[in-house]
Structure 1
Amino acid sequence: MALSYKDYIADGQTKDFAIPFKFLNQVHIKVFVDGKAQDHVINNNVVSLASPPEANVVVRVKRETPLHERAVDFDDGAILSEAVLDMANEQLFYVAQEVLDYSEGLLKMKEDGHFNALNRRIRQVSNPVEENDAVNLSFMRSQYIPTARAEADRARNERETSEQIRATTNQLKIDTEQTLSEARTFTTSIKNDTEVIRGKAEQHMVTAHAHKEKAIAEANKATSEANRAYGEANRAKGYVEQYKPEVKGAWTFDNYVEWPTLGVGQGRAAIYNDGIYHKCLMIHGNDSKVAGEYRVGMWNHVTVYGSLYITGELYVKDKPVYHRGNIHISTGNPSGGADGQIWFKYS
């Protein structure tokens, strides 16, 4: 806290300010408003200004004890009173306080090696010369700020140009996307139409293929029927040509054939002289009684000279007989038989 001055922050209404320290003479009291000396009057340790200072300015009430002359001049033989001695000492005391306050207000180097301006302005700073010189506000405004403003203007112009380019690019992107969308729509439409046409073409192709297959099947069927008819005709012709002389006598068959090379009649009835596959005279009945069951009927007595081989079921007087292997039937008593044969007496 200062010992020889007091700072006040004006509120725009107050013009009276107290003097909180002692002084030798009223003329030693000075008043400064925003750094400028002001006329004032003093009453009861209060200074009064002609008008209230503007708000927020600093009002300093300061004591300035003179140093160029002594407050007391001692003479030889003079009486030394307490008041005289106090005045002489107070002058020195007040001057010491003022010097201390003045030194406290100077720009000092602190313990960390740096100067501390105590949140005060540094006035009358000269223009810088070397790289590490302090810069005043005027130099900043005349030198650095125009350059900075020019750079800012250039940056703004470049930004505006970039924004224009970006806007143009965005519009180009929008136009491109619109074109692509239209192209996709057009392509999709063409693709859909193509798929429809393709589907119809495939349907026509399937229909045509079906007609073709049907035609081929019909043609094959017709060919088969024609071949069968031709075979039947040839077989009938052969029978007529070969066996008409023997109608009243024995039938003599031609050379061996393979069953059923010449085909069969209605209900699969046929007589074959098979010497290739079954290698026997094949008599095949028809299925006119039961579909899928082919029968050969023999009336009167049937005499079998030699072995009778039955591969299906054997019925005697409409009664089925289980059998397996070779079965022999004879009217006489069994007279033995080979291995794997079964003999039956029929009466």
Structure 2
Amino acid sequence: MAGLHVLRLMPEPTAVALLYAQQQHKAFQETMGSGSEKVALIFNMGAGYCDVAVTATAGGVSEIKAVAGSTIGGEDLLQNMMCHLLPDSENIFKNHGVKEIKSMALLRVATHDAIHRLSSQINFQVDVDLGDGLKICKVVDRAEFEEVNKQVFGKCESLIIQCLHDAKVKVEDVNDVIIVDGCSYIPRVRNLVTKICEVTEVYKGIINPLEGAVCGAAIEGAVALGIIDPFGNLDLLTIQATPHAIGIRADGNKFVPVIPRNTRIPARKDLLFTTIYDNQTATLILVYEENQLLGYIKITGIPAARKGVPEINVCMDIDAANV
């Protein structure tokens, strides 16, 4: 609808990895370095997602070793704090009338502001009038916020550990830790990432954590369009990895991955399967990315035979544009 031409699809951690690769490549050029490999862990947590990636960079080439992700994010932190400030909120707002929606919006804004303030303050007083005599006047501190969201932060830790394990990278081999997106300002987030990676500070090359992925995507766009930079700042290559397994469900069977998670892109894989009924002449193949339905294929005209005899080949491929 916007008339945009999509050149490539790129996960946010991969875009950040490309920006990091450009910065490292430029630094090596300026110092006449050899361009030895550097390993970075990228932690990207926004409103509705948390992604972790491990990338190895050398000579302008960035290879994504592994990616791990979840749907947890800043919205979970916000909802947990809203319930903490107003424990009976579900019953109070259950009617979804105009007054209830307005009150919920006021609570949401006040809670959002409190979380922002707690990123730079030890405590903050929430003072909000929700209407109909309902008021909240409470001092919340950072430790309280962290305790309320203990499970969310625990999941973040698990994702980092999982990504390092999948990448087969030891903590001591990580050179830089990059934290981007909105939740990067939360002290607990920064502390848990640096603690697991056993570093004292995060990478400071990306000045604005909110712009890291955008800058990386812009660089990828320039590379894809073949724009030439006389200084060699666009002599870059990113080797992506699939963030989720892609596979099929056939005739109601369980999910069968065809292209496993963290497979290097571009990728092409084949899978043979067969019929489950005698004289079966058609089958429906559902294509999934993990638990997300992507589409379906109906195969007809299968020669009648005993079950297990026909061989049906399913081929999937992902190109360099991540399509």
Q: Same fold (TM over 0.5)?
A: no
RCO comparison, higher one (Cα < 8 Å, 6+): 2
Q: Which has the higher strand share?
A: 2
TM-score, normalization: structure 1? 0.18
TM-score, normalization: structure 2? 0.19
Query: Which is higher, the Rg of structure 1 or of structure 2?
Result: 1
Q: Which has the higher helix share?
A: 1
